[in-house]
Amino acid sequence: MAGKGGATPSTYSPSPTTQKTKSLSFGNDEVLRPDDREWHQCRPAFFQIGVVAAAAGSAYADFGSTKVIVSVFGPRESKKAVMYSDIGRLNCTVSYTNFATPVRGQGSDHKEFSSMLHKALEGAIILETFPKTTVDVFALVLESGGSDLPVVISCASLALADAGIMMYDLVTSVSVSCLGKNLVLDPTLEEESHQDGSLILTCMPSRDEVTQLTITGEWSTPKINEGMKICTDACSKFSQIMKSCLKGFDSALEEEDSNVD
């Protein structure tokens, strides 16, 4: 303890945010969130596609301090060990960088994220279009700032679209946290550590279909209803941003092409 409190730590680690920002006083409606957002306001979102040259498709997403990069490879030959299948396979891996979390190396305890990403995406991909082959999705969380999995899912669907994998729809995902009597949309790491429960909704906005719903903690039925409503609303807004990201890239390409012609 005494060693930790020393003025010059031997290795760099970001100072915990709890000490910098004003303390959370939940239950008071006038108080805004630590980053001055409204309860039902998302962090500013930024998407970019085509960030990894070696991958078939890739995307970068940045929601406040949550930063992820997703690369898609394939379709390529399945491993020799797996059985023959008439439809394609999806293989998802979510990993954290060592420096993603305030304490180094803490992000490695998210083993379930890979299978959750797989479940969220597989319903949206038209697997029949690449029989016997595998599409690999590698997500890397560069900085964990809360709502990591929803950001990874949205970013992965953008990377799949960039790779030209046939999909029924883009997949967007948003989480809400239950803090006392308030529902906070797109919670930060600090808010997630105080939450009573969390709800992650993954949907295909233009099809109005939910591909995954994860609820943990204490929830009442009206709260779940309210939470899902907030999430679907936010998902459709994110899909607009993601669509414009895909189109922005394409229109730039189109201009280049027309110049060449």
Partner 1 sequence: MGEDSEWVTPGEVLGKASKFKAGRGAYVSPDNLTVYASLTGLRRILSPPPDSPDQRPTVEVTGHKAHGAIPEPGSIVIARVTKVMARMASADIMCLGTKSVREKFTGIIRLQDVRATEIDKVDMHMSFHPGDIVRAVVLSLGDARAYYLSTAKNELGVISAQSAAGATMVPISWTEMQCPLTGQIEQRKVAKVGG
Binding mask 142-171 for partner 1 (x = CB under 8 A): -------------------xxxxxxxxxx-
**Residue of 12, 125, 17 lying closest to 66 (CA atoms):** 17
Q: Which long-range contacts (CB under 8 A, 24 or more apart) does 115-119 make?
A: 116/149, 116/212, 116/214, 117/92, 117/149, 117/152, 117/153, 117/156, 118/90, 118/91, 118/92, 119/211, 119/212
Round to whole Å and give the CA distance between 158 and 136.
14
Among the listed residues 59, 139, 189, 204, the single contact to partner 1 using CB under 8 A: 204
The radius of gyration computed from the CA coordinates of the chain, to the nearest angstrom, equals: 20
Q: How many residues bind partner 1 (CB under 8 A)?
A: 40
**Residue of 208, 34, 190, 179 lying closest to 199 (CA atoms):** 179
Among the listed residues 21, 38, 93, 207, the single contact to partner 1 using CB under 8 A: 207
User: What part of residues 38-57 is at the interface with partner 1 (CB under 8 A)?
Assistant: 56
- Please report, for residues 103, 117, 139, 140, 180, the alpha-carbon distance to residue 204 in angstroms, rounded to integers and kept in the order given: 35, 14, 20, 23, 30
**CB nearer to partner 1: pick between 75 and 197:** 75
> Is 254 a residue that touches partner 1 (CB under 8 A)?
yes
Distance of closest approach, residue 94 Cβ to partner 1, in angstroms: 22
User: What part of residues 59-88 is at the interface with partner 1 (CB under 8 A)?
Assistant: 73-78, 80, 82-84, 86
> Is 206 a residue that touches partner 1 (CB under 8 A)?
yes
**CB nearer to partner 1: pick between 83 and 103:** 83
Residues that bind partner 1 (CB under 8 A): 56, 73-78, 80, 82-84, 86, 126, 130-133, 161-170, 204-207, 239, 242-243, 246-247, 250-251, 253-254
